């Protein structure tokens, strides 16, 4: 999971003042003895150990040992070079070529290309498969990422596979700042916004995009927080002001049990709001989602969130680098614990495409235009990825049961007594036995023959062109 900050740099002077105050006065004898023991052991290791450890190595080990003893995965020492990378990560900056990738059949598929990026200028397209990077074969996204990232201004040679042809491109890496906010209308008066992180500029970008959508006439809004690892608390606080009138964003509890409520004041939206969440929605994103859920300002759709309910303070060190230390736990406005637990959605849905369809329906949307190609699913112009959403088996096309239920606004269930998978809507049920060819079960997931679905739900239309499957749903769906 990407690491995220939870306090701004403005908090540093206070942190330093507290640190200095805590170190004044005479040290206890036990502390002095411990310090002497550490120094004695350090000296003996430097003098006698076979590896001839130097002072820097032992100092770093001592720091890591103290932090490890806390049993806290979020407290860590960041040397200067890691601190620089951490800041870039916080602001969603990378030095690379500008592509999104996924693993597919032991190969690396490019799912999207960032506009105006080096990749786009080099002619790289979504659907291309990365074969080699700088002469080395790549089979996973980790392999590709390690080789594509580098220093700005350096070049990388990439071999791609497109429509059975090899294409060779030379791309110059550059600093790319990923947009933390994007959005578009989805139809039926439903707006969609993706918030990938609470960066320093995300409140301004969110307000701008929200205003643009509202000018077009909104009846409901979807805010996608899936894979949002958090960010600045202040950014979450500002964005929450678009949904909460007067209240508490979170209760911030320090190690003495003192509660410092984080207030929020703003103007709620006059229309329904749906938040998309998943297992990678974490930290400040959970803080934000938990507050909106508690106040009834939004309905959560998706999967249970990560469960990071603690915040960290950043303290600059005199010898360089930064200490990131956990100082508070937060609870939701209704005093719900998040740490190690997460948030449970109001509507639990499995699968990214199914979640998007369910959120659209929860927001009041009915008409859909869906395109599936090579694992990519586009619903009313919004693209996500779910390789098993639609697939071909023995010449027939099947639709994942969870995805089909979300699209049709139906309930999916299994009856162990009759060994049937059931799709129910408006008092009507499509019931198919698991040994019926109209149903395909792979890895415990049921999928319906698209022909059976269209017969049961006549408002569903479909066509296939090669590997591209298109589904359309009229407004008459329940």
Backbone CA torsion sign across 469, 189, 114, 194: negative
Q: Is 118 helix (H, G, I), strand (E, B) or coil?
A: helix
Cβ-Cβ contacts under 8 Å for 357 (sequence gap 6 or more):
368, 370, 379, 403, 406, 407
- Marked catalytic residue, from 128, 224, 294, 449: 294
* Nearest of 123, 350, 114, 360 to residue 223 by alpha carbon: 360
- Cβ proximity of 61 and 168 under 8 Å: no
DSSP state of 52: -
Contacts of 130-134 with C-beta under 8 Å, sequence gap 24+, read 130/101, 130/158, 130/159, 130/160, 131/107, 131/159, 131/160, 131/161, 131/166, 132/157, 132/158, 132/159, 133/157, 133/158, 133/159
d(CA 114, CA 119): 8
HSE toward the beta carbon, residue 367, CA cutoff 13 A: 9
* Nearest of 433, 409, 432, 424 to residue 359 by alpha carbon: 409
- Marked catalytic residue, from 180, 224, 308, 449: 308
The answer to whether residue 283 is catalytic is: yes
- Cβ proximity of 124 and 132 under 8 Å: no
The answer to whether residue 180 is catalytic is: no
The answer to whether residue 151 is catalytic is: no
- Marked catalytic residue, from 180, 202, 283, 446: 283
Active site residues: 283, 294, 308
């Amino acid at each position: 999971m990407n690491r995220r900050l939870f306090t701004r740099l403005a908090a540093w002077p206070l942190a330093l003042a507290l640190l200095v105050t805590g170190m004044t006065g005479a040290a206890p004898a036990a502390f002095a003895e411990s310090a002497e023991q550490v120094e004695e052991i350090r000296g003996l290791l430097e003098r006698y150990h076979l590896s001839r450890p130097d002072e820097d190595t032992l100092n770093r080990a001592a720091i890591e040992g103290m932090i490890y003893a806390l049993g806290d995965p979020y407290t860590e020492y960041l040397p200067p070079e890691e601190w620089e990378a951490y800041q870039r990560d916080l602001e969603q900056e990378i030095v690379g070529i500008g592509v999104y990738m996924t693993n597919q059949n032991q190969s690396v598929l490019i799912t999207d290309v960032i506009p105006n990026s080096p990749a786009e200028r080099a002619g790289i397209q979504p659907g291309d498969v990365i074969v080699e990077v700088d002469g080395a074969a790549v089979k996973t996204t980790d392999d590709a990422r390690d080789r594509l990232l580098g220093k700005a201004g350096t070049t990388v040679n990439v071999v791609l596979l497109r429509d059975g042809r090899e294409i060779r491109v030379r791309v110059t890496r550059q600093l790319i700042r990923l947009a933390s906010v994007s959005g578009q209308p989805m139809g039926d008066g439903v707006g969609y916004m993706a918030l990938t992180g609470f960066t320093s500029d995300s409140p301004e970008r969110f307000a701008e995009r929200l205003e643009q959508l509202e000018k077009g006439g909104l009846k409901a809004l979807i805010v996608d927080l899936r894979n949002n690892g958090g960010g600045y608390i202040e950014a979450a606080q500002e964005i929450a002001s678009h949904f909460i009138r007067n209240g508490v964003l979170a209760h911030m509890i320090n190690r003495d049990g003192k509660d410092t409520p984080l207030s929020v004041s703003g103007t709620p939206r006059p229309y329904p709001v749906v938040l998309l969440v998943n297992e990678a929605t974490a930290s400040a994103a959970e803080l934000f989602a938990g507050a909106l859920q508690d106040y009834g300002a939004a309905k959560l759709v998706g999967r249970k969130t990560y469960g990071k309910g603690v915040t960290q303070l950043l303290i600059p060190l005199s010898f360089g680098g930064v200490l990131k230390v956990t100082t508070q736990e937060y609870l939701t406005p209704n005093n719900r614990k998040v740490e190690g637990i997460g948030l449970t959605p109001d509507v639990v849905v499995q699968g990214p495409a199914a979640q998007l369809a369910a959120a659209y329906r929860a927001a009041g949307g009915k008409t859909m235009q869906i395109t599936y190609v090579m694992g990519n699913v586009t619903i009313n112009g919004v693209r996500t990825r779910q390789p098993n959403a639609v697939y071909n088996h023995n010449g027939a096309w099947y639709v994942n049961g969870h995805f089909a239920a979300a699209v049709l606004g139906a309930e999916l269930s299994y009856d162990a007594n009759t060994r049937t998978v059931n799709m129910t809507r408006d008092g009507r049920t499509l019931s198919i036995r698991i040994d019926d060819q109209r149903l395909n079960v792979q890895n415990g997931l049921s999928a319906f023959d698209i022909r059976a679905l269209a017969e049961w739900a006549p408002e569903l239309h479909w066509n296939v062109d090669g590997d591209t499957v298109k589904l359309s749903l009229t407004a008459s769906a329940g």
